[in-house]
Amino acid sequence: MKAALVTGPGQTPIYGDFPDPVPSAGESLVTVTASALSRLAVGRASGSHYSASGAYPMVVGVDGVGKLEDGRRVYFVLPRAPYGSMSERTVVKASQCIFLPEGLGDVLAAGIANPGMSCWGALKERGKLQAGETVLINGATGTAGRLAIQVAKYMGAKKVIATGLNPESLRGLTALGADITVPLVEDGAALEDAFKEQFSKGVDVVVDYVWGPSAEHLLAAAAKAGTQGRHIRYVHVGTLSGIENIKLPGTTLRSLPLEIMGSGIGSVSWENIVKDIGELLNTTVGAGFNIETKSVPLPEVEAAWASNTGMPRTVFTLGPGLS
């Protein structure tokens, strides 16, 4: 079969031939129609993500949309290695397949599932967001952050505060439901003051896609502002800053009713991850959730992989007439 594959860490995938998969007991054979290029897919392919197996050669891609042998459409996640989602066919545990609702196209389903998983799990599973609470999304101008605004509002957030580096992108977030926007300026004191103003009015849940210095300023501002009687749930999802380690003074922890946690593979069980994705996909059409996608035929994987910026989300397609 044809597939996007790599033979070693750090390589750009190429379009080539790979042996056909044969399902084992409890697995489903999926004929793939669409698979998104996500940070998780890139990290596992390169071997840099903490969940990567490190085994090569391999077909890249962690999730996608396709049809079972009986013709039913499914979203699937984490095929059995060395098979991935960016191939004509793959094999995956039947328990990791989710039947798709009518009206949800293959490309949107494939593109929205991974960022949807990150924000749905962060807000519901980890942050335990309640209707009427205030959410601060650190790094809201990317695909996942923009979707997190929509999901937070759908879950009943009274106020959503969104941060980002790009002022123009920040301005566009109000149309998605952001009530307040905070630019991530380089002046640490000014940034801390801006965060302090928001925490002085009350913040319940922080969903952080950036980490690094902005996280340090967020936590310092929360400590200086006080919590207004709120228990802050701080959920670390990603590291867009590229800085894994932060300084966290003990005084910050002692002065706040603060809970810091991660959200991702390991901190959320696979059973709950699949459940969260299913809830997101079955809600997408009715709630009007949307992200920007760009369809690219899988044979063009090498060029698209190398030029990927993350927005719009690249979705590789196999077969005609997909939308």
pLDDT digits over 83-102, tens only? Answer: 999 999 999 999 999 999 99
Q: How many angstroms from the chain centroid is the CA of residue 319?
A: 26
135: part of which helix (H) or strand (E)? Answer: strand 134-138
Secondary structure E strands in 152-270: 159-164, 180-183, 205-208, 232-236, 258-262
Quick one: average pLDDT of 111-137?
96
Residue 42: which H helix or E strand, with range?
A: helix 39-46
Amino acid 39: pLDDT: 85
What is the per-residue pLDDT across 280-296, written as a single tens digit (0 to 9) for each? 999 999 999 999 999 99
12-66 pLDDT, tens digit each: 999 999 999 999 999 999 999 999 998 888 887 876 666 666 678 999 999 999 9
- Structural tokens at position 255: 């002065």
Q: To 10 degrees, what angle do helices 106-120 and 270-287 make?
A: 120
pLDDT of amino acid 49: 63
Please report the pLDDT score of residue 228 as a whole number.
74
pLDDT of residue 45: 82
Residue 323 confidence (pLDDT) = 41
Q: What is the pLDDT of residues 142-158, one digit of tens each?
A: 999 999 999 999 999 99
What value does the CA radius of gyration of the chain take, rounded to a whole number of Å? 20
Banded model confidence at residue 319, pLDDT cuts 50, 70, 90: confident
Higher pLDDT, 206 or 268: 206
Map out the domains of the chain with their CATH numbers: 2-114+270-317 (3.90.180.10), 128-262 (3.40.50.720)
| Model pLDDT, residue 10 | 80
Each residue's pLDDT tens digit, 206-259: 999 999 999 999 999 999 998 777 899 999 999 999 999 999 999 999 989 999
Structure confidence at residue 46 (pLDDT): 74
pLDDT at 170: 95
Counted residue by residue, the chain has a size of: 323
Where residue 73 falls among pLDDT bands split at 50, 70, 90? Answer: very high
User: 276-288 in b/e burial notation, b at 16+ Cβ within 10 A?
Assistant: bbbbbbebbbeee
Residues 79, 60 contacting (CB under 8 angstroms): no
pLDDT at 101: 96
Mean pLDDT, the chain, rounded, equals 93
For residue 48, what pLDDT is reported?
A: 60
The CA distance from 181 to 161, in Å, is 6
Tokens of 217: 């300023």
| pLDDT at residue 261 tops 80 | yes
**From the CB of residue 251, how many other CB atoms can be counted at a distance below 10 Å?**
10
